[in-house]
Chains A and B, each alone.
Chain A
Amino acid sequence: MKRSLIDIVDLSTQELDELIACAKDIMAHPEKYSEICHGKKLATLFFEPSTRTRMSFEAAMYELGGNVISMSSAASSSAAKGESVADTARVISCYADIIAMRHPKEGAALVAANNASVPVINAGDGGHCHPTQTLADLLTIDIQKGRFSGLTVGLCGDLKFGRTVHSLINALSRYEDVRFVLISPEELRLPDYVKTDVLEARGIAYEETADLEGAMPSLDILYMTRVQKERFFNEEDYLRLKDSYILTPAKLAGAKKDLAILHPLPRVNEISVAVDDDPRACYFKQVLCGKFMREALIIKLLKEAGTI
């Protein structure tokens, strides 16, 4: 049966565990999977600029032995001529076996999934969801910590518009005894609905603070985020807030020795380059994890659709 991935909560914790196990197996035995998608096509529809997510999907499909079809840019697509997302999804379904789509409008991936006859993977819909980034985050945490339960997770930076933050909170709050420290300036705090509907509804402990160094000693995971210019209507607000938190080696002085530092990337300046050599910096491993989790996801959705 055709199934799409729009939001990370579309996957049960058991399915997340299975995807993580599959991704690890691909990492260990890539040859086992190198022809599993032979003759199948992934369409990457990116209506918003992206390098890493699109290339990650494309690399994932090639490593599975499949092919990729793509459009060069949103400006050259039929959307620029006024075609609806629904029609685009119906048309592309005729060409591809699976679609990965990024779109600036929130909910666009759901519209595509409701109209496509092949599985649709949400590769980011505005500030709403970015489930495959969360898959990358989860595999990274699993590899670094070996567990999700009992972790204290610090989320730092833009917690208001940061879709990766919302998705990660949604995913991790389904595990036992996870605690969140929400580190942000006042204006970029986590939206109330995430606090009430997810954290408070599930009885998850959390605290809000603007003090990164004060929170540092308690953290097992530090998830840094970029203040995204494209999410602001007002450039003045962006300029005022963009440098709120910059992680440097000095700020890591009070951190645990086994802290894992994550970032969905791209970074601008919120993590100093000097931190890159710290063994606790995991953000480039996270990129690799993202590719393997996308491979695992493509396999899962194509299998469920009966395509492979």
Chain B
Amino acid sequence: MNIEPIVNGVVIDHITAGQGMRLYELLGLDKLDCSVAVIKNAMGKRGLRKDIIKIDQEIDLDLDVIGYADPGVTVNFIKDGKVAEKRTIDMPEKLVDVIKCRNPRCITGTEQELRHIFILTDRKNKVYRCMYCETQA
């Protein structure tokens, strides 16, 4: 399968196989007008399947969303056909307005315009807790 190389844009690589569409939705890429390719189950160099997203436009991505949803993903920022910056995205220490607290007793459910903030409390087990009520995400 061939996808044209992009000149200016972003390539999200090394996405865990099967997670590409989830990231596409979480990042709100459906709202973009430019070309976006989601490649599922591509064969990586180490013989492992992976997903890739190619975005044919320079955009500001919420890297915290990527780090939360699939830590270890590589984001390549492409400028004039070359990789201008390459970043491996780890789990962020804090998530702001990425997910909502599911505890019906939490203040975030009723307080006006309160930001939904989650703190990484256990990196090994990927546990985030609501900053307000400590409910696990």
- Chain A interface residues (CB < 8 Å from chain B): 84-86, 103-108, 110-111, 125-128, 193, 197
Given A107-B130, A110-B131, A197-B122: A126 in contact with B105 (beta carbons within 8 A) = yes
Q: Give me 19 other A-B pairs in contact (C-beta within 8 A), A105-B111, A107-B133, A128-B133 excluded.
A: A84-B112, A85-B107, A86-B112, A86-B114, A104-B105, A106-B103, A106-B105, A106-B132, A107-B107, A108-B107, A108-B111, A110-B132, A111-B111, A111-B114, A126-B105, A126-B133, A127-B105, A193-B134, A193-B136
Q: In the complex the two chains form, what is the Cα distance from A125 to B135 in whole Å?
A: 14
Contact of B41 with A by CB under 8 A: no
Q: Is B2 an interface residue (CB 8 A)?
A: no
Q: Which residues on B are within 8 Å of A, measured CB to CB?
A: 103, 105-114, 121-122, 129-136
Complex CA–CA separation, A60 to B40 (angstroms):
65
Interchain CB contact (< 8 A) of A105 among B110, B129, B136? B110
> Do A197 and B121 have beta carbons less than 8 Å apart?
yes
Min distance, Cβ A145 to any Cβ of chain B, angstroms:
29
Cα-based distance from A286 to B130 in the complex (angstroms): 32
- B132 and chain A: residue at smallest CB distance: A107
Alpha-carbon distance A128/B108, docked complex (angstroms): 14
A105 with B106: CB separation less than 8 A: yes
Measured CA separation A125–B107 after assembly (Å): 9
Give the Cβ gap from A208 to chain B, nearest Cβ, in Å. 20
CA distance A103 to B109 in the complex (A): 14
Q: In chain A, what residue has the closest Cβ to B112?
A: A84
Contact A105 B121 (CB under 8 A): no
What residues of A have a CB within 8 angstroms of the CB of B109 in the complex? 105
Most buried by B among A107, A108, A110: A107
Residues of A with C-beta under 8 A to B135: 106
- Could you say which residues of chain B place their CB within 8 Å of the CB of A104? 105
Q: Within 8 Å CB of B131, what residues of A?
A: 107, 110
Alpha-carbon gap, A31 to B109, bound state (A): 46
Q: Do B121 and A106 touch (CB < 8 A)? A: no
B122 touches A105 (CB 8 A): no
Measured CA separation A107–B107 after assembly (Å): 6
- A128 and B121 CA atoms in complex are apart in Å by 17
Contact (A107, B136) CB under 8 Å given A86-B114, A197-B122:
no
Q: What is the distance, in angstroms, from B112's C-beta to the closest C-beta of chain A?
A: 5
Q: Which residues of A contact B108 (CB under 8 A)?
A: 107
Residue from A86, A105, A110, A197 within 8 A of B105 (CB atoms) = A105
Residues of A with C-beta under 8 A to B134:
106, 128, 193
CA distance A86 to B136 in the complex (A): 24
Give, as a whole number of angstroms, the nearest-CB distance from A70 to chain B.
Answer: 22
Decide: A106 and B106 in contact? CB cutoff 8 A.
yes
Set of chain A residues within 8 Å of B106, measured between Cβ atoms: 105-107
Q: Smallest distance from the beta carbon of B135 to chain A beta carbons, Å?
A: 8
